[in-house]
Structures are given as structure tokens and as C-alpha cells.
């Protein structure tokens, strides 16, 4: 578990140092090869090292080096030189290749190591986030950070190790060598390298900046399309096909326009690089030609061979520069991703003080609690106060969208109150140890959700120690065993993504079974009975009372029938508690409650 | 090739650009590849002390460089332009097909697979087209021109290079094939771990409330480590490309260079007689060509994979586009519809199992018809038929006495407003979502409608009220989405209203208020209501109880209750727990 991305770099510091260093060897070899070629041509043309012009220092030395291997073919010195040079070049090529592959290997394993470590740490961190934080960063962005940004940082590491040293070595090396070969040609090199570098960088920087925009345009197209697929019935029903086509065209136009724009800008890179290298080559040629013409063809050979070597360097430089530009961009992107990852890893998750529950009589109390998910936005809960005594049951009833579920989020501490105080098990919810808190609460969500796996896997989630028999027992309490037992594989039956292979009612019964498999002090049922028919609803509630008579319970519902027996009932409307009390009192005092009751009561309809 | 027609259609309007592109690429490759040749010639002339010839070559070189720069730039620009023009048309075609394909297509295909046409497949085609021109054609041409120029320079060395070419081809193919294999595997594992991350983030509540974090991390670690192992292989195998290209280049470079030197140095008559002599300038040019020789091989082999992907994607898209359109044979337009009558209708989703048989029903102006019955009885199917999402198999369906065959779907749907079982919310503000039914509605009108139905209370609890941006996956519960859909319908004020479980996730009190609001709006209008919760429908003029596609009971609430039949049973079971 790392605290920031750079920690992971530190763990692999050796790879970041030695990987690139090894690359120097190949780069140096790559620079030497054209020089050997020049040397051997010079040797051939001049016949011996001593006959070369004084200024031709490199060829002289390399010539001596070649000759130091002796003479392999005695009757043809030149052929022997050529063969030796060939062997040297080949050896350098192969050795360079092998050493490079070591670096490539180091780069691959390090990149994957870093990527794996970051990904794992992110998931670790995310599992500690509260609802307010996930609301702020938003879940889609979190997914992008775990999946895409980690990948980009991984890619950054890969390129860093592979190329960070090779590129400057080639660039600086070829500059030095061209100065040594001929300082005048060296100046031509010095002039063009920064220009090419500058142009490619500017263009790529610009286009990658624009590329983010293109990606957003593509996301719009994707979102529009999936909205339309989902709403096809409604679109046809409202005869909105033309309207949709027009609004899609807008997105498509935008995308096309920006894609063509970026493409056009990118189209500049190759011709511009070609233009600049052409200028360099022609300049070298003009300059060399004039020198040859002035000193005569005999000594001019050395200049001609220099040109051969220089052109070879030029090719390497222009390749390296384009590579440099794209690598640079990946590294820039990687820095950006690194920051986004760090933003998550360094999130200050408001620490709890690990206070353990005390002896308590009041399980849960809200004192003037308000809540908002977006700072500066509207409040979802407004000045709520109520309490729940140990062993008692609390019913919460209210209209769709009145804020009932937010009460649960506060109780489970998925969010903390924006104002006011929530106490649970005798301790301020801000201070209590979250693990202990959640081990004492069992919560059934409104929308049944499952992890990939079997029914058994999902029930074991809440309590790992259960035997198969106990699992079946909890399925029976939630009236789910009746359909589970019909599967050949019983509790090992697989729950598909989002539980789509079960009906809504079946999903909800599995969801309840999972919560009931956990023995704890407080059970919260968040509107989970509404997908069930009334008889099953009643049976399950009876089972719960029979099996956990002493536990405290909170029932959230739209059905009066599900809560009317509770010791206390809260009526919520528009984020506020408008009444609380027992069923009979509420019937007398609370019009909304009465309306609800009447709307659900048999025979009172008309 | 059966999709030739489509290709022609897409290329139409771009032909000039494409032809011009092909001419430009010839210019570009010719001009840029002849440069080393000319430089070599210039050097030779300098060595031979021919000042004027030297200068001529240099000037030619400058002119050709200019030609190369301009044609290269225009070439890339044009490729870019017509590629995007082509895929633009494809995108619109796919989009319109989604809106015009028979609705039954959506029951057999996942939305993900349809979305893939629009995003993944079209991206593949874009990449394929660009690869085709920029790498395939340009690269192929470069190889050909290089070989020709090498032959002009020295046929013996050129043959040497050609003999060594298989080495380049072999290395390029070996690497790209292997890469492809490993990358497919890595991609699969990567999507695997992405799915796991997604699961974690989406079910954060569930995991946290069960203190399941540690177990989940164990699971995650396992997948992560498998990904690491295979990722190592994939990354490593991809990293062979540049070094081995350099190695091959170096080998050919050294070999040809040394042979060239031998030819120059030996000055033997044999080479002379064979016309295989080479000058120093010639050797210089030759070595430049060798340095550039392997690059197009690599590019072509990776472009080949992209082309292949583009081809399969194009075929997939064509198969989708070749689907027949939803039939709409009726042409008659009417201004209003109030009555609907089913006459001996037969219908089934698949031909084997009939769902609705000999179904007849008259719904007359101003009546409220309710349909109840167990799941799978065919209630929603009737709605699908009324709204013409599916065609009936037999019988007749008449709107104000006119057969469905004569009326256009548009005119039918213009007259019917509806809220369906699965509410639809698209990305946009609450205002946008409600305004969908009536484009020119003002904000005040919208707020007014919401107030009337008592919907605006919940909207005001959203962070930014009516201006809160919502989407299908973010921000709203199912019941809240239903509220939005209802507001949308109320704004439209159609002649006939169809409600299919429109309030199933809404609390009963809000439901009652909504119904009261509806009753006011629907005075003298026709309505069809399907509801699970029977409290909604007691006021209906006629209640149909449907079972297995047939009407088993029919009458108003009172009659049916007195009958003590299936309706009575259903009704009683619902209020069991309250009374």
C-alpha cells in the first residue's frame, strides 16, 4: 500500500537507474557504427592510416583499432580491413541488441510492478471512501483513475526506462561526433536539433491538448447513443427521430471538426521534419561539395565519407526526435495521471477516533441534523431530531424522494452530517470505529446488488463463518429457499451481473437473506419489502421478529403495513420530519400519514 | 463482395480527393526517396571536380525537397479529411438505423453490442483507413521506389539487399504476430480487472457495510497478479520492435557497406564488366536507403492488423445497416384519435408460442380502461401493439375506425401519450428531461405541471433543483425517474394516455395525488392504465382481467368484487397486511 505514486518509483529505484544506464551502451554502439564505416572506406581509399589527412582524427584512430586485429587475409589488406570492420560492426550490433533487451525486460517488469502496485493501493484507498467523497470525485471518474490513469503511469514508466537515457545520448552524442568530424558541420547540427525538437514538441503538445477535447466529444457521442438505445420506445412514441438525428449531428459535427483539426495539425509534423532534415542534408552537401572542390578529390574523399556518416546521424537524430516528442508527451500525460491518482491516494478520509461503543440505552439519535451532498447545493435533510431506544423498532415512512435513504447513509456513516450530531451505540458517529460500527449493523439496501459469484458467495460476504446449513437457514427466513432449492446446484447457483437472472422479488429476498445471516445489534431495512407481495412481506417480518427479538430495527418503507407495528414511526416529507409517534397517534395527528394509510387500506378507497 | 454498394456510397463525393491523394503520395515518395540518390550524385560530381554538375544536382535536390514537403503535407491532410468525411456518414447511418430498425431488434441484441457499432467499430474503420493510406500504400510505394533506386545505383548490391529482405519481413511478421497474440490476452485480463474495479466502485456501500474489504482486496490482488504476469510478456514482446529493427538494419548496413567497399577497393575488371561498379557517392546513397529500408516493413505489418480489424468492423456495421427498416406502410394522417378498437387480434413475439389470441376490445372516447393480471399475462404486449412497436399477426387494430395499415405510425403516436414500465431519463437537466415532450414549453409551464402533480417537492431537494443534471445512471432512483416521466406526459397533454405501471415505484400517497391530477387533465380523454397496485384503477370505467393473453373477467370494480373471482382474489391479497 503506497501513499503516493512516487513511493512506487522508490520501491523500484534500482530498475529506474540501471535500466537506462545499460541503454547507453547500445546508443554509443549505434553512434560508432557509421564511424567505423567511414573509417574503413577511408582506409581503403588512402591505403593506410598515415596517409589520411591530419584533421581526420576519428578515422585515424578507428583505423588503427581495425588494424590492431592484424591482417586476416594476407594477400589483400583491404579485404581484410573490410572483414574485420564488418565483424566489429556485427559484434557491436548484436551485443548492443542483447544489452538493450535486458533493459527492455527490466522496463516491462518494472512497469507492470508499478501499475499493479498503484492499482492495488487505489482499490485499498477507495474502499475507505465515504459517500460524500465518492459524490465529489464521482464514481465514473474514480473508475477512470483506477483503470486509465494507472495504465498511463505504467506506460510512462515503460518509456522512461527504455528511452530516457537513449534519446539524449543519441542527440548529444551525434552532436559531439559531428563536431569532432568537422566542426563546421557540427554547427549545422546544433542549429537544426533545437528547431526540430521545438516544432515537434509544440505541435504534439497542442494536439494532445486538443486530443482531450476529442475524447470528450467521443464520450458525448457514446453517451448520446446509449441514451437513445435505452429510450428508443419513448423516442418513437414521441416521434422524435428527426430531433434526435439533429442533436446527434451536432455531436458528430463537433467531433469531426475537432478530429480533422487535430489531424491537420499533426499532418505538419512529418513534412516539417522532412523539410528541416532536407535543409540540413542539402547544407551539409553544399558545404562538403565546396570543400571537396577546393581541396581536390584525393583529400576530398575524407570529407565525402564524413558526409556519409553525418547523413546517417541525421537519420538517427530525426527518428530520435520524433520518438522524443511522443515519449515526452506520454511522460507529461503520465505526470497528469500521477497527480490524479495522488489526489485519490492522498484524500483526507475524515479519520474516526476508533472509539468503541459504550453501554447504551439509545441506539441511535439525531440531534438537529442537516445534510447536503454538494457544498452550496440544497439540503436533502433539514434539522432532523429523533432517537431509537435499544431493542425497539423504528419505522420511517415518506414520499418518493423525500430523503429517507439519506438517514441510513448517515447511520452507516457513508456520509457525515453537514450540521448537527448523530450518535450511535452511545458514541458520536464521527468518532466511532467504522469497522466496529458496521459489524454491529446489518443493512438491506433498497436496490439489491451482488458481487460476481454464487448465491453462497454472496451470503458469505456478511458472515464468513457460516456453514451451508446456516446459509440455507437464512434463505428460509427470507422466504428465498423456496426458489433456491429448485436449482440443481442450489446455493451454488451463480448470480449473474446485477442479479438479472432473478426476478425483482427474488433478488430482494436474496438480499434480505444476506443481511439476516449476520448477527448484530441493529438491522436496517431500506424499503426492501416493496418489491415483495404483501403476504411474503408479512411473513418475512414475522420471521425476523421471531429470530432476533432483542435486536433494534429500522424499517424504511412506503407501505404503512410494513411499519405500523413499530414502536416509533417518523413521517418524512421534503427532507423534514413532519411527525413522529405511534401508529394510532399519527393517524389522529398527521394528515399525510392518514392519507397514506387510507390510500393503502382496503375498502376505504371509494 | 456484397457490401460493394455501400463502399461506393461512402466513397462517393470523396473520389476526387482519393485520386488526388494517390497522385500526391507518388510525388511525395518519389521526391523524398530520390534525395539520397541526388546527394550521392552531387558528391561524386564534386569529387570529379565538376562544379556545374554538382550545383545542378544540389538545386534539383532543393526543388524535389520542396515538392516532397508540399505533397507530403497535402497528402496527410487529404487522407485525414476524407477519412473523417467517410466515417461521419457511417456514424449518421448507424444512428439513424438505431431509430428505424424494427423494435424487435432491441429485444434480441444487447445495448452494449449496438453501442459498439457506433464507437468501437467506427474507430477501427477510422484507424484502418488512415493506416491503409499512410502506412500500407505509402510504405509499399516506398519499398518499391527504394528497390528501383537501389537497382539504378548498383544492381549487385540491390540483389544483396533483396536477398536480405526476407530477414526484415520475417522479423517484422514474427514480432507483430506474437505481439498481437499477447496483447489480445493482456487486453482480456485488463478488461477483467477493469470490471472488478468497476464492481468495487459501484458496490462500495455493499462491501463497506459488510466489512468485506479485505476479502475483496484478496480477490483483486489475485487478478492483478495474473495481469502482471501476462502484462510482462506482452510489454516485453512488444519491446522487441525497435531494437530488432535496429539490429537487422545494422546487419544489412554492415554487410552491404563492406561489400560496397570491396567493390570500390578491388577495382577489378570483373565488376567493371558486370557493370557493377559503385562510386563513393553511390555508396553513400545506398547506405541511406538501407537505413530506411526496414521501417516500412514494420509499419506495413502493424497496419495489416489494423486493416483486418477495420474490415471485420465494416462487415459488422454493414450487417447492421442491411437489416430491413421498420415497416410503416400507412400514409394517412389524422389530426385526432380518440377511439381504439382491437378486432380478433393475434400476436406472438416468436412464431412458436402464441401469446394473444382472438383478442377483441373497444376503447371509446373518454373512457378509462384498466388492465390487470399476473406477470407475463400480456398486458404490456397490448401497449406495444397500440403504440405500434410491434405489428399484429392477425385481426385488425383500428384507430377511430381506421385500420392501422392505413395510418402512419407518426400520426398514431402523435395522439397517444404514455409512461412506460421502465422510465427513461437522459443526460441533461430536469428541465431538459421534462421539456422533451413539448419543445417550446417555458420553465414556468414545467414548474407549474410539476406542482400540479406534487412532483416539485422532490425536485427541490436535488442539489440544484430543476437545473440539476441527471443521467440514466446517476442521481435518481427508479421512483424519481417515474415522476419525471409523468411530468413529461402531463406537459404533452395528448388525446389518449397510456400508463404502463407508471407509478409502480412511487409511494401510494404521491400516486394518489398524481392520479387526481391526471383525472383532471384526462376529463373527456381516453386512457389505458396497467397497474400492479390495484388502488390506482378502482375508478376505471372498465377493468379487464387478463390471463394468458385472454380476457378472463371484465367489468367495473364493484361488479368484479361482487363476482368473487380472480379479480377479487388479487385485490384482497393486496390489502392483507393493512387491515
Interchain proximity A127–B217, CB inside 8 Å: yes
Interface test with B, best of A83, A229, A516 (most B CBs within 10 A): A229
Interchain proximity B72–A274, CB inside 8 Å: yes
At B529-539, the pLDDT tens digits run: 988 777 778 88
CA-to-CA separations, A364 to A169, A386, A436, A516, A526, in angstroms, rounded: 68, 8, 15, 20, 16
- Alpha-helical (H) ranges within A431-567 are 434-439, 455-460, 468-477, 481-484, 504-516, 534-547, 560-563
Interface test with A, best of B127, B229, B383, B508 (most A CBs within 10 A): B508
What is residue B2's predicted lDDT score, i.e. its pLDDT?
A: 67
User: Is residue A285 less than 8 Å (CB to CB) from chain B?
Assistant: yes
The arithmetic mean of pLDDT across residues B36-63, rounded, is 91
The arithmetic mean of pLDDT across residues B350-368, rounded, is 85
- Between B280 and A9, the more confident residue is A9
Q: Residue B239: CA atoms inside 13 Å, Cβ hemisphere, count?
A: 26
Interchain proximity A597–B247, CB inside 8 Å: no
User: Is residue B265 less than 8 Å (CB to CB) from chain A?
Assistant: yes
At A120-141, the pLDDT tens digits run: 999 999 998 887 788 777 777 8
Give the lowest-confidence range in A206-215, A511-520, B204-213: A206-215
Interchain proximity A377–B463, CB inside 8 Å: yes
Interchain proximity B39–A435, CB inside 8 Å: no
Q: Give CA–CA dist A558/A337, Å, rounded.
A: 45
Residue B260 has pLDDT above 80, yes or no: yes
- Between B513 and B58, the more confident residue is B58
What is residue A512's predicted lDDT score, i.e. its pLDDT?
A: 92
Structural contact between residues A349 and A128, judged by C-beta atoms closer than 8 angstroms: yes
pLDDT band, very low/low/confident/very high, at A529 (cuts 50, 70, 90): confident
What is residue B514's predicted lDDT score, i.e. its pLDDT?
A: 86
φ/ψ region of A416 (left if φ > 0, alpha if ψ in -120 to 50, else beta) reads beta
User: Is residue A259 less than 8 Å (CB to CB) from chain B?
Assistant: yes
Give the lowest-confidence range in A40-44, A232-236, A406-410, B551-555: A40-44
- Between A286 and B533, the more confident residue is A286
For strands A522-526 and A552-557, give the pairing: parallel
What is residue A97's predicted lDDT score, i.e. its pLDDT?
A: 93
What is residue A604's predicted lDDT score, i.e. its pLDDT?
A: 41
The arithmetic mean of pLDDT across residues A162-184, rounded, is 87
What is residue A602's predicted lDDT score, i.e. its pLDDT?
A: 57
Q: How many cross-chain Cβ pairs, A to B, lie less than 8 Å apart? A: 476
Q: Give CA–CA dist B521/B518, Å, rounded.
A: 5
Q: What percent of chain B has pLDDT over 70?
A: 97
User: Is residue A539 less than 8 Å (CB to CB) from chain B?
Assistant: no
pLDDT band, very low/low/confident/very high, at A603 (cuts 50, 70, 90): very low
Structural contact between residues B250 and A93, judged by C-beta atoms closer than 8 angstroms: yes
Closest CA to A468 of A510, A508, A517: A517
Q: What percent of chain A has pLDDT over 70?
A: 99
Interchain proximity B42–A534, CB inside 8 Å: no
Please name the residue of chain A whose CA is at the shortest distance from the CA of residue B78: A264
What is residue B579's predicted lDDT score, i.e. its pLDDT?
A: 39
CA distance A443 to chain B (A): 7
Please name the residue of chain B whose CA is at the shortest distance from the CA of residue A84: B258
Residue B200 has pLDDT above 80, yes or no: yes
User: Is residue B337 less than 8 Å (CB to CB) from chain A?
Assistant: no
User: Is residue A346 less than 8 Å (CB to CB) from chain B?
Assistant: no
Mean pLDDT of all residues in chain B? Answer: 87
Mean pLDDT of all residues in chain A? Answer: 87
Q: What percent of chain B has pLDDT over 90?
A: 36
What is residue B315's predicted lDDT score, i.e. its pLDDT?
A: 93
A233: its cell numbers: 420506445
| H-helix or E-strand spanning residue A525 | strand A522-526
What is residue A248's predicted lDDT score, i.e. its pLDDT?
A: 94
Residues 31-50 of A with CB under 8 A from B: 33, 37, 40-41, 44-45
The arithmetic mean of pLDDT across residues B69-92, rounded, is 95
Structural contact between residues A139 and B202, judged by C-beta atoms closer than 8 angstroms: yes
Q: What percent of chain A has pLDDT over 90?
A: 32
CA-to-CA separations, B82 to B4, B13, B18, B168, B315, in angstroms, rounded: 18, 9, 8, 32, 20
User: Is residue A498 less than 8 Å (CB to CB) from chain B?
Assistant: no
DSSP-assigned letters across all residues of B308-331: HHHHHHHHHHHHHHTSPPPP----
Q: Give CA–CA dist A435/B28, Å, rounded.
A: 68
At B126-148, the pLDDT tens digits run: 999 998 998 899 999 999 999 99
Residue A606 has pLDDT above 60, yes or no: no
- Between A278 and B274, the more confident residue is A278
Structural contact between residues A544 and A516, judged by C-beta atoms closer than 8 angstroms: yes
| H-helix or E-strand spanning residue A443 | strand A441-444
pLDDT band, very low/low/confident/very high, at B97 (cuts 50, 70, 90): very high
Kindly list the residues from chain A whose CB atom is less than 8 angstroms away from the CB atom of residue B100.
241
What is residue B578's predicted lDDT score, i.e. its pLDDT?
A: 45
Nearest to A232 among B106, B478, B483 (CB): B106
C-alpha torsion A373→A379→A383→A385, nearest 10: -50
The arithmetic mean of pLDDT across residues A323-347, rounded, is 86
Residue A605 has pLDDT above 60, yes or no: no
Structural contact between residues A410 and A371, judged by C-beta atoms closer than 8 angstroms: yes
Residue B396 has pLDDT above 60, yes or no: yes
Q: Give CA–CA dist A84/A62, Å, rounded.
A: 12
Length of chain A: 606
Q: Which residues of B453-483 are buried (b: 16+ CB within 10 A; e: fewer)?
A: bbbbbbbebbbebbebebbbeebbbebbbbb
What is residue B356's predicted lDDT score, i.e. its pLDDT?
A: 84
Closest CA to A223 of B418, B440, B106, B469: B469
What is residue B442's predicted lDDT score, i.e. its pLDDT?
A: 94
Closest CA to A530 of B537, B476, B505, B514: B505
What is residue B268's predicted lDDT score, i.e. its pLDDT?
A: 64
The arithmetic mean of pLDDT across residues B459-475, rounded, is 85
Residue B267 has pLDDT above 70, yes or no: no
The arithmetic mean of pLDDT across residues A481-500, rounded, is 86
At A67-76, the pLDDT tens digits run: 888 888 777 7
CA distance B489 to chain A (A): 10
Interchain proximity A260–B106, CB inside 8 Å: no
Q: If you search the block for the grid coordinates 557540427, which residue do you land on?
A: A186
Amino acid at each position: 500500500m503506497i501513499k503516493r505514486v512516487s513511493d512506487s518509483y522508490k520501491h523500484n529505484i534500482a530498475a529506474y537507474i540501471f535500466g537506462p544506464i545499460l541503454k547507453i551502451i547500445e546508443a554509443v554502439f549505434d553512434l560508432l557504427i557509421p564511424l567505423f564505416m567511414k573509417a574503413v572506406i577511408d582506409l581503403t581509399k588512402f591505403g593506410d592510416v598515415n596517409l589520411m589527412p591530419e584533421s581526420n582524427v576519428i578515422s585515424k584512430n578507428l583505423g588503427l583499432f581495425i588494424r590492431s586485429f592484424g591482417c586476416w587475409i594476407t594477400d589483400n589488406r583491404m579485404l581484410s580491413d573490410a572483414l574485420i570492420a564488418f565483424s566489429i560492426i556485427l559484434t557491436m550490433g548484436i551485443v548492443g541488441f542483447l544489452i538493450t533487451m535486458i533493459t527492455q525486460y527490466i522496463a516491462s517488469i518494472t512497469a507492470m510492478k508499478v501499475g499493479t502496485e498503484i492499482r492495488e493501493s487505489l482499490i485499498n484507498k477507495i474502499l475507505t471512501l465515504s459517500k460524500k467523497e465518492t459524490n465529489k470525485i464521482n464514481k465514473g471518474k474514480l473508475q477512470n483513475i483506477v483503470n486509465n490513469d494507472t495504465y498511463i503511469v505504467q506506460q510512462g514508466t515503460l518509456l522512461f526506462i527504455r528511452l530516457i537515457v537513449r534519446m539524449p545520448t543519441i542527440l548529444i552524442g551525434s552532436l559531439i561526433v559531428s563536431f569532432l568530424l568537422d566542426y563546421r558541420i557540427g554547427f549545422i547540427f546544433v542549429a537544426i536539433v533545437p528547431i526540430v525538437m521545438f516544432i515537434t514538441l509544440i505541435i504534439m503538445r497542442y494536439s494532445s491538448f486538443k486530443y482531450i477535447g476529442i475524447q470528450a466529444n467521443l464520450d458525448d457521442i457514446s453517451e448520446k447513443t446509449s441514451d437513445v438505445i435505452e429510450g428508443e420506445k419513448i423516442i418513437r412514441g414521441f416521434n422524435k427521430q428527426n430531433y434526435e438525428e439533429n442533436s446527434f449531428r451536432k455531436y458528430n459535427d463537433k467531433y469531426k471538426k475537432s478530429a480533422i483539426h487535430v489531424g491537420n495539425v499533426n499532418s505538419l509534423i512529418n513534412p516539417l521534419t522532412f523539410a528541416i532534415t532536407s535543409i540540413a542534408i542539402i547544407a551539409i552537401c553544399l558545404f562538403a561539395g565546396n570543400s571537396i572542390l577546393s581541396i581536390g578529390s584525393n583529400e576530398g574523399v575524407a570529407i565525402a565519407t564524413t558526409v556519409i556518416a553525418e547523413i546517417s546521424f541525421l537519420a538517427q537524430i530525426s527518428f530520435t526526435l520524433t520518438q522524443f516528442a511522443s515519449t515526452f508527451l506520454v511522460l507529461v500525460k503520465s505526470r497528469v495521471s500521477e497527480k490524479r491518482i495522488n489526489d485519490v491516494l492522498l484524500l483526507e478520509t475524515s479519520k474516526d477516533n476508533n472509539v468503541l461503543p459504550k453501554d447504551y440505552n439509545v441506539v441511535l439519535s439525531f440531534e438537529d441534523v442537516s445534510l447536503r451532498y454538494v457544498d452550496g447545493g440544497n439540503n436533502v435533510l433539514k434539522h432532523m431530531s429523533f432517537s431509537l431506544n435499544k431493542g425497539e423498532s423504528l419505522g420511517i415512512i415518506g414520499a418518493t424522494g423525500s430523503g429517507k435513504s439519506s438517514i441510513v447513509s448517515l447511520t452507516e456513516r457513508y456520509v457525515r452530517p453537514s450540521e448537527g450530531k448523530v450518535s450511535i451505540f452511545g458514541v458520536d458517529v464521527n468518532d466511532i470505529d467504522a469497522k466496529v460500527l458496521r459489524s454491529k449493523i446489518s443493512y438491506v439496501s433498497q436496490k439489491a446488488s451482488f458481487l460476481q459469484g454464487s448465491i453462497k458467495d454472496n451470503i458469505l460476504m456478511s458472515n464468513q463463518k457460516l456453514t451451508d446449513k446456516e446459509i440455507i437457514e437464512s434463505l428460509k427466513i427470507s422466504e428465498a429457499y423456496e426458489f433456491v432449492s429448485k436449482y440443481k446446484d442450489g446455493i451454488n447457483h451463480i448470480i449473474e451481473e446485477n442479479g438479472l437472472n432473478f426476478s425483482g422479488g427474488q433478488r430482494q429476498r436474496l438480499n434480505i437473506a444476506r443481511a439476516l445471516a449476520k448477527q448484530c445489534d441493529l438491522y436496517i431495512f431500506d424499503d426492501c419489502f416493496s418489491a415483495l407481495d404483501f403476504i411474503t412481506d408479512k411473513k418475512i417480518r414475522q420471521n425476523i421478529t421471531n429470530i432476533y427479538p432483542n435486536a433494534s430495527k429500522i424499517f424504511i418503507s412506503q407501505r404503512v403495513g410494513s411499519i405500523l407495528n413499530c414502536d416509533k414511526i417518523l413521517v418524512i416529507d421534503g427532507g423534514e420530519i413532519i411527525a413522529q409517534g405511534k401508529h394510532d397517534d399519527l393517524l389522529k395527528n398527521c394528515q399525510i400519514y392518514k392519507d397514506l394509510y387510507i390510500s393503502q387500506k382496503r375498502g376505504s378507497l371509494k | 463482395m456484397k457490401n460493394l454498394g455501400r463502399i461506393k456510397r461512402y466513397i462517393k463525393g470523396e473520389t476526387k480527393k482519393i485520386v488526388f491523394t494517390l497522385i500526391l503520395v507518388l510525388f511525395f515518395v518519389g521526391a523524398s526517396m530520390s534525395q539520397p540518390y541526388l546527394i550521392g550524385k552531387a558528391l561524386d560530381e564534386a569529387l570529379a571536380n565538376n562544379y556545374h554538375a554538382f550545383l545542378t544536382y544540389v538545386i534539383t535536390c532543393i526543388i524535389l525537397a520542396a515538392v516532397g514537403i508540399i505533397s507530403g503535407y497535402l497528402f496527410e491532410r487529404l487522407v485525414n479529411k476524407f477519412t473523417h468525411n467517410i466515417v461521419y456518414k457511417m456514424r449518421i447511418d448507424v444512428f439513424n438505423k438505431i431509430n428505424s430498425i424494427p423494435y424487435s431488434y432491441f429485444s434480441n441484441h444487447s445495448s452494449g453490442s449496438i453501442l459498439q457499432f457506433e464507437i468501437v467499430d467506427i474507430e477501427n474503420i477510422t484507424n484502418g483507413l488512415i493506416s491503409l493510406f499512410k502506412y500500407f500504400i505509402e510504405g509499399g510505394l516506398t519499398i518499391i521506389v527504394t528497390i528501383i533506386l537501389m537497382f539504378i545505383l548498383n544492381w549487385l548490391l540491390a540483389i544483396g539487399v533483396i536477398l536480405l529482405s526476407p530477414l526484415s519481413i520475417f522479423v517484422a511478421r514474427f514480432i507483430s504476430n506474437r505481439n498481437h497474440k499477447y496483447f489480445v490476452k493482456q487486453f482480456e485480463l485488463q478488461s477483467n480487472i477493469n470490471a472488478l474495479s468497476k464492481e468495487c466502485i459501484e458496490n462500495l456501500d455493499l462491501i463497506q457495510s459488510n466489512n468485506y474489504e479485505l476479502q475483496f482486496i484478496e480477490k483483486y490482488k489475485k487478478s492483478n497478479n495474473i495481469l502482471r504476469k501476462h502484462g510482462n510478456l506482452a510489454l516485453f514482446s512488444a519491446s522487441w520492435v525497435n531494437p530488432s529493427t535496429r539490429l537487422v538494419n545494422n546487419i544489412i548496413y554492415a554487410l552491404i557497406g563492406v561489400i560496397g567497399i570491396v567493390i570500390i577497393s578491388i577495382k577489378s575488371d570483373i565488376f567493371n564488366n558486370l557493370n557493377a561498379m559503385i562510386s563513393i557517392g553511390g555508396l553513400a546513397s545506398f547506405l541511406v536507403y538501407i537505413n530506411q529500408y526496414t521501417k516500412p516493413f514494420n509499419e506495413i505489418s502493424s497496419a495489416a492488423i489494423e486493416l483486418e480489424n477495420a474490415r471485420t468492423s465494416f462487415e459488422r456495421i454493414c450487417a447492421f445497416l442491411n437489416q430491413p427498416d421498420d415497416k410503416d406502410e400507412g400514409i394517412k394522417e389524422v389530426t385526432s384519435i380518440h377511439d381504439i378498437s382491437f378486432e380478433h387480434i393475434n400476436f406472438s413475439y416468436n412464431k412458436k408460442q402464441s401469446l394473444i389470441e382472438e383478442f377483441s376490445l373497444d376503447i371509446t372516447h373518454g373512457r378509462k380502461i384498466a388492465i390487470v393480471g399476473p406477470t407475463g399475462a400480456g398486458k404490456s404486449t397490448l401497449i406495444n401493439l397500440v403504440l405500434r412497436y410491434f405489428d399484429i399477426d392477425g385481426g385488425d387494430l383500428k384507430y377511430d375506425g381506421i385500420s392501422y395499415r392505413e395510418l402512419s405510425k407518426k400520426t398514431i403516436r402523435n395522439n397517444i401519450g404514455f409512461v412506460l414500465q421502465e422510465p427513461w431519463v437522459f443526460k441533461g437537466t430536469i428541465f431538459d428531461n421534462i421539456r422533451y415532450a413539448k419543445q417550446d414549453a417555458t420553465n414556468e409551464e414545467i414548474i407549474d405541471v410539476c406542482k400540479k402533480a406534487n412532483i416539485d417537492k422532490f425536485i427541490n431537494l436535488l442539489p440544484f433543483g430543476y437545473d440539476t443534471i441527471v443521467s440514466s445512471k446517476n442521481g435518481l432512483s427508479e421512483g424519481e425517474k417515474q415522476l419525471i416521466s409523468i411530468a413529461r406526459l402531463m406537459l404533452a397533454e395528448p388525446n389518449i394516455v397510456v400508463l404502463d405501471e407508471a407509478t409502480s415505484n412511487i409511494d401510494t400517497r404521491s400516486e394518489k395525488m398524481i392520479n387526481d391530477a391526471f383525472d383532471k387533465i384526462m376529463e373527456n380523454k381516453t386512457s389505458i392504465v396497467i397497474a400492479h397496485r390495484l388502488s390506482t384503477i378502482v375508478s376505471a370505467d372498465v377493468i379487464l382481467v387478463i390471463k394468458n393473453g385472454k380476457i378472463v373477467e371484465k367489468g367495473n370494480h364493484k361488479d368484479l368484487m361482487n363476482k368473487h373471482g380472480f379479480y377479487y382474489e388479487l385485490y384482497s391479497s393486496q390489502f392483507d397486511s393493512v387491515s
